[in-house]
Structure 1
Amino acid sequence: MPRLVIAKDFLGEYAKLQKPVQKAVDAAIGKFAEHTHAGLHLEKLANAKDSKIRTIRINQFYRGVVLAPDTGDEFLLITVLPHDDANKYAASHKFTVNQALGVLEVRNQEGLEVIEPALRQAAKDSPTFLFGTVGDAELIRLGIDADVLPLVRLLTTDAHLDALANLLPTVQYDALAGLAAGMTPEQVWAEVSQQLPVGAAAEHVDTDDLAAAAVRTPDRYVLVSGPEELAQILAHPFDAWRVFLHPAQRQIAYRPSYAGPAMVTGGAGTGKTVTALHRAVFLAGRAGAGRILLTTFTRNLADALTSQLTLLTDDPQVRDRIDVLNVDRLAYRTVADALGRQPALVDDKTLRALWEKAAASTPGFSAVFLEREWEQVILAQGLHQPDEYLGARRRGRSTPVRADQRLKIWEAIRQVTDTLRQWNQYTHLRLADRAAGILAERAAPPYQHAIVDEGQDLHPAQWRLLRAAVAAGPDDLFIVADPHQRIYDNHVSLASVGVGIRGRSHRLTVNYRTTQEILAWSVRLLTGEDPVGLDDEVDNLTGYRSPMHGRRPITKAAADRDTENAQLIEQVNQWLDAGVEPHAIGVAARTGYLANAARDALSAAGIPVSTPAATKTNAVRVGTMHAMKGLEFRCVAAIGVEASTVPAKAAVTSQDEDPVAYRHDMQRERCLLFVACTRARDSLYVSYAGVASPFLHSAGG
């Protein structure tokens, strides 16, 4: 029976085409899906490196590249490019099945042949070789193609291996890079074998069956059942995450059941949110499924999840079972239902005045100290009596306080909380605490499952609310988090709030958003303490990598703010002139003042601008680094990254007042810059006026 497979790269190129060209592509490949391709002219190129590659005419200027085996009725749509580029690709690339993993791979065979003479010449003068201690059998066991082995044997330096990064299949390059970095073959296999689909047996691989290999490579290829599915895929070409999942992501998202709470961790861009969305739809699609909560930290992130969920499923029954609410909205709705009226939230100015008044009556302790003591110790642990506070651990708080001082602190905090109670006003965290108590008293929680995104940013009171909102049992909580993206001052041990994840924690390591060059630069921003995760274990980014390569980030200095904004305008215009859509460009600043100034400067230069939340507007999105959380762009400009602004002085506790809080605050500021920079897919531009932020020194900027 004829089978049609679409490559992820095909969607990427298709998405860049103008609408008339897309329609021509639709007409051409629609014949494959309808199995009427006999009328198409599949052109075979002379001297092509792969005899199975063909091209098809789209229009006068574009051609499609198709993999068509000599026997069988299977077709793989590889890419669509301008005429000359399509022919060049078709003539130079070769597709094979990885003999160890069974996945479908592509390599630039022509590029490898071009570079071989230089490597051979360098090898003549070298007494040692990069993989001289690893035998051929071991390399083949790790997935290195037998045809590539002679070239691998010529490598003498890391620089020579780096030159192959964009020529070799990703899995083979990763295996070689691991060995070159000092990993043992066993350690390398542990990494590369994550490409194996669940239950796959590498020894049964048929290296001639390309269609079966494509099915075993779900992060790069998808088997299309017919015209309707093809139309659905092409309708949203930018949203490839709906269709293409890495085997590790698919295994986690579609596991039949977890015995209890499960957690997924991983660096920025590793697909944690995508995995969570697929998990939500999977649970909602099961027979007899109950209510499902899909939640996150902020309203903007919840809105983004709603949009993505709509793209992922159009089944009304599935969609109706899922409530998308940020955790503050859940707390607000719960308390409102219990009170029979809308709870009032205290404004920041009024709250600040209350803490200042309390501090005035408590010499030796500032308003900031008292507020943090309340949030991070008393409210975090759900303490209700002075005796409980006297015996409480003060995790993350290094300023020592005696028993008599604790009683004074308790009284000062009580002044604030009593006043709020008298006014019937709440902070968001106090509202979460109240909502948790309300749900805990109910006979049945409102949800059967909860999917929690950005779990690292939630406060213990919010975790108690989520625990009370979901019935304990199989698949009750599915949590995704990254301590390296913790941009709010919340440090939580899940065990302390009744969420046990032992034995049900999974880690993703492959970044599918950002190029390796941007990723490596951004990771260096995090130099400092490795954060403690929700499982009480120190988290690190070992193995964190990207299979994509591109340009290195640009760091640019300016004498003053006007010059910096002028340089920003120049950079944004360069991106626009290169064909980048305005909405695919993001500009991030540490403060709202800097973001507004940049927005005004770009607008005055005739460049359309909007806020980060305005996702349906074709304009450059400009906002604070906090507002960029959960978004992604082709190009990002992080501006105002100077010593006086990053880290923000007001956000960092004095080192003299509390050394532990100071370290936490500094690491949080590093994480915030890291989050902003890793929103970029293709290009990252970082600028500052005056003296560069000390964080840039660690990144080499």
Structure 2
Amino acid sequence: MARLGIAKDFLTDYAKLQKPVQKAVDAAIEKFAEHTHAGLHLEKLANAKDPRIRTIRINQFYRGVVLAPDSGDEYLLLTVLPHDDANAYATSRRFTVNQALGVLEVRNQQALDGITPALRQAAKDSRDLLFAKVKDTELIRLGIDADILPLVRLLTTEAHLEALANLLPTPQYDALTGLAAGLSPEQVWAEVSAYLPITAPEEVDTEDITAAVARTPDRFVLVSGPEELAQILAHPFDAWRTFLHPAQREIAYRPSYTGPALVTGGAGTGKTVTALHRAVSLGRQTSAASPVLLTTFTRNLADALDRQLGLLTDDPTVRERIEVINVDRFAYRVVAEALDRQPAVADQHTLRQLWEKAAAATGAFGAIFLEREWEHVILAHGLRGPEEYVAARRHGRGIPLKAEQRVQVWEAIRQVTDELRVLDQRTHLQLADEAARILAERPVRPYRHVIVDEGQDLHPAQWRLLRAAVAPGPDDLFIVSDPHQRIYDNHVSLGRLGIGIRGRSRRLTVNYRTTQEILAWSVRLLTGVTPTGLDDQPDSLAGYRSPMHGRRPTVRAYPDRTAEYAGLADQVDTWLAAGVEPHAIGVAARNGHLVRAVRDALIAAGIQTSSTTATKTNVVRVGTMHAMKGLEFRCLAAVGVDAGTVPAKAAVTAQSQDPVAHEHDLLRERCLLFVACTRARDSLYVSYVGNPSPFLNSAQAY
């Protein structure tokens, strides 16, 4: 049976087609797999620049363009266009395998042939050639092939090279621009090869298109069959979020791990999609009596995971075996079942009053200090009495406490917990702590496998709950985490919690979501930052890169909010006019006040919006930076990134009160901005009023 893959650009083209045309494409794909030549005619064009190019009939007005192999049955659907446009595309393009990198390339051969005479004349009239000092052997080693090399020898200026940007194969163009910028061939090779999703092979078979496709997962992918492809086309914007690249697939579909496994990596490296595929893999192997728990920090993220899981499998049996619920709801359910009633959760207003009352009674410690001491020392370590607290290590706390001071702090905290008990209320962390003890005392655990997304944001009490939810053994815990995206003040050592991951830790380094330009800019926001991971080791973004390229982020300064909102509306209008779907546009702000003001301004400008969690479809999404976690957009605007707003003053402990907490808070705020900016896939726009956030200073140097 023929196997049909797709080019990434096809998804964009497909999304723009009218529904009747999309249905015709779906029907053609189904027929293709069943009867490649008999039921679906592959038409060869006599004047095509690539003899492997074919077209297929979609309907009376549209045709698809297909790359057919010289041998075998793996085909690539490149695009679907109106009849004349499809023929023009098919006759002009040529596909080759890069001789150095082994990736599949595309070039506009017809346009290159057309521009060659003009370049030849310019070279004849000029004494200086752009690459005169670069030897042929060096160009060939960088992947410049025999057909492009003569053209390269005609270039006289960088302007001529830039004119070829959309005509040359991208890997070859990138190599040439590096040389033109003054880099040595060795430096260019280091840059070009660094962006490869897969290490370049020692020997490249330039005739093996199938192997080249496998090495170019950021642009092409072969799917397992028409069902998978049809599922992809039902959600064209989400489709690339469910694809696994080779490094991710090896992790997700490994037959078994002997114990807990940890996967780390920067934003966009596919940790979440790897976790989703792992859930499906385990869901197929287990039974309803031994289900899989897929969990994360917030309810919004859990809902997003549940939606994405639906894109991966529609098998009801597998779906029934996988429960998706966030940690707080899971803890609440465990406690409710044990009490045989619904426990009340303390609201923030009540908590604030209780902590202020306790602080006033001590006269020595502030309300925020007491609350954090409770959460990050007492609850974090599961301490049950003052003696344990006096002897405990207070890792991460900046103010030293003597024994008598600890006793005083314990009594102040006990006052709050006693009053919560009288009110019959619990905090979410108390529920997690209680639920962990309930499950640990049971002979049978509720799950066979637990998969954790965004592990860096979970509190130790929540980790104890998840450890108690599954019996120790093979494939018990599968965790994905990125310390650089820690946006809540939880610092955890898995080893100290009885979750040993030694020898079962993997790191992903290639960002498949964001262009290298957006990625490089965003990483600079974290200059000097080295957070500690769940494995107690410093985490690094060394080797973190993207194989995709695009425009650099745009940063705009405005005199006031009114002007900033007007500039935002203009930017959103520009994206919409360029064909970006409204729901593929996101706007992030640091706080709810700004979010509401932005939504009002966009609506006044005639742009429909919704929150990040609303059910309205095909409208621009506006939310806080926290709400952006786990989401992706083609285009994203981060607004209000000024000195008075980012970092948020209320979220940062004064340095005089606790210098360690102060640094932790600043790091968390940096990570929050980094998380928001790396939600952008193709375009990032950042704006501020007055003075920029101090975090932007390092990024602006890019």
Note whether the superposition's TM-score is higher than 0.5.
Answer: yes
Does residue 497 of the first structure (1) align with residue 497 of the second (2)? yes
- 1:230 to 1:428, Cα distance in 2 relative to 1, 3 A: closer
Paired residue type of 2:342: Q
- 1:268 to 1:389, Cα distance in 2 relative to 1, 3 A: same
Q: Secondary structure at the match of 1:75?
A: strand
State the match for 1:452 in structure 2: 452
**Greater Cα shift, 237-246 or 483-492:** 237-246
- 1:248 to 1:181, Cα distance in 2 relative to 1, 3 A: farther
CA contact (8 A) 1:453 1:481 kept: yes
- 1:172 to 1:448, Cα distance in 2 relative to 1, 3 A: farther
The Cα shift of 1:71 comes to 5.3
Does residue 600 of the first structure (1) align with residue 596 of the second (2)? no
The Cα shift of 1:249 comes to 0.8
Separation (CA, whole Å) in 2 of partners of 1:474 and 1:171:
46
State the match for 1:244 in structure 2: 243
State the match for 1:256 in structure 2: 255
- 1:124 to 1:568, Cα distance in 2 relative to 1, 3 A: closer
- 1:181 to 1:600, Cα distance in 2 relative to 1, 3 A: farther
State the match for 1:479 in structure 2: 479
State the match for 1:268 in structure 2: 267
Does residue 296 of the first structure (1) align with residue 296 of the second (2)? yes
The Cα shift of 1:11 comes to 2.8
State the match for 2:45 in structure 1: 44
Paired residue type of 2:408: K
The Cα shift of 1:346 comes to 0.8
- 1:71 to 1:493, Cα distance in 2 relative to 1, 3 A: closer
**Aligned pairs (5 A) from 1:130-149:** 139=141
Separation (CA, whole Å) in 1 of partners of 2:336 and 2:590:
34
- 1:74 to 1:492, Cα distance in 2 relative to 1, 3 A: closer
**Aligned pairs (5 A) from 1:587-666:** 587-666=587-666
Separation (CA, whole Å) in 1 of partners of 2:132 and 2:6:
46
Separation (CA, whole Å) in 1 of partners of 2:375 and 2:256:
35
Q: 5+ unaligned residues in a row in structure 2: which ranges?
A: none
CA contact (8 A) 1:398 1:659 kept: yes
Paired residue type of 1:535: D
What root-mean-square deviation, in Å, do the aligned CA atoms of Structure 1 and Structure 2 show?
3.6
Q: Secondary structure at the match of 2:365?
A: coil
**Greater Cα shift, 77-86 or 275-284:** 77-86
CA contact (8 A) 1:267 1:511 kept: yes
- 1:119 to 1:463, Cα distance in 2 relative to 1, 3 A: farther
State the match for 1:367 in structure 2: 367
- 1:535 to 1:72, Cα distance in 2 relative to 1, 3 A: closer
The Cα shift of 1:466 comes to 0.6
Aligned residues between the structures: 690
- 1:122 to 1:577, Cα distance in 2 relative to 1, 3 A: farther
The Cα shift of 1:480 comes to 0.7
Separation (CA, whole Å) in 2 of partners of 1:431 and 1:156:
70
- 1:86 to 1:177, Cα distance in 2 relative to 1, 3 A: farther
**Greater Cα shift, 256-265 or 186-195:** 186-195
Q: 5+ unaligned residues in a row in structure 1: which ranges?
A: none
Separation (CA, whole Å) in 2 of partners of 1:183 and 1:444:
58
The Cα shift of 1:111 comes to 7.7
Separation (CA, whole Å) in 2 of partners of 1:336 and 1:455:
25
State the match for 2:233 in structure 1: 234
Separation (CA, whole Å) in 1 of partners of 2:78 and 2:486:
39
- 1:566 to 1:423, Cα distance in 2 relative to 1, 3 A: same
**Greater Cα shift, 181-190 or 239-248:** 181-190
CA contact (8 A) 1:358 1:415 kept: yes
**Greater Cα shift, 493-502 or 552-561:** 552-561
**Greater Cα shift, 245-254 or 378-387:** 378-387
What TM-score comes out, normalization by structure 2 length? 0.88
State the match for 1:441 in structure 2: 441
Q: Secondary structure at the match of 1:285?
A: helix
Separation (CA, whole Å) in 1 of partners of 2:109 and 2:587:
39
Post-superposition Cα deviations, 1:370-425, rounded to whole Å, max 9, x if no partner, equal: 11111111111111222222222222112222222222112111111222223221
**Aligned pairs (5 A) from 1:280-679:** 280-286=279-285, 288=287, 290-679=290-679
- 1:526 to 1:174, Cα distance in 2 relative to 1, 3 A: farther
State the match for 1:14 in structure 2: 14
- 1:32 to 1:215, Cα distance in 2 relative to 1, 3 A: farther
Post-superposition Cα deviations, 1:449-482, rounded to whole Å, max 9, x if no partner, equal: 1110011110111111111111111111111111
- 1:335 to 1:395, Cα distance in 2 relative to 1, 3 A: same
The Cα shift of 1:306 comes to 0.9
State the match for 1:25 in structure 2: 25
What TM-score comes out, normalization by structure 1 length? 0.88
The Cα shift of 1:569 comes to 2.0
Separation (CA, whole Å) in 2 of partners of 1:388 and 1:123:
78
CA contact (8 A) 2:194 2:545 kept: no
- 1:606 to 1:418, Cα distance in 2 relative to 1, 3 A: same
- 1:502 to 1:169, Cα distance in 2 relative to 1, 3 A: farther
- 1:385 to 1:148, Cα distance in 2 relative to 1, 3 A: farther
Post-superposition Cα deviations, 1:648-672, rounded to whole Å, max 9, x if no partner, equal: 0000011111112111111111111
- 1:327 to 1:125, Cα distance in 2 relative to 1, 3 A: closer
The Cα shift of 1:354 comes to 1.0
Separation (CA, whole Å) in 1 of partners of 2:493 and 2:296:
18
Does residue 689 of the first structure (1) align with residue 689 of the second (2)? yes
Paired residue type of 2:541: L
Does residue 90 of the first structure (1) align with residue 90 of the second (2)? yes
Paired residue type of 1:272: K
Separation (CA, whole Å) in 1 of partners of 2:297 and 2:327:
6
Residue identity (%): 70
Q: Secondary structure at the match of 1:528?
A: coil
CA contact (8 A) 2:590 2:645 kept: yes
The Cα shift of 1:576 comes to 2.1
Post-superposition Cα deviations, 1:148-170, rounded to whole Å, max 9, x if no partner, equal: 78889999999999999874455
Separation (CA, whole Å) in 2 of partners of 1:513 and 1:590:
22
Separation (CA, whole Å) in 2 of partners of 1:263 and 1:383:
27
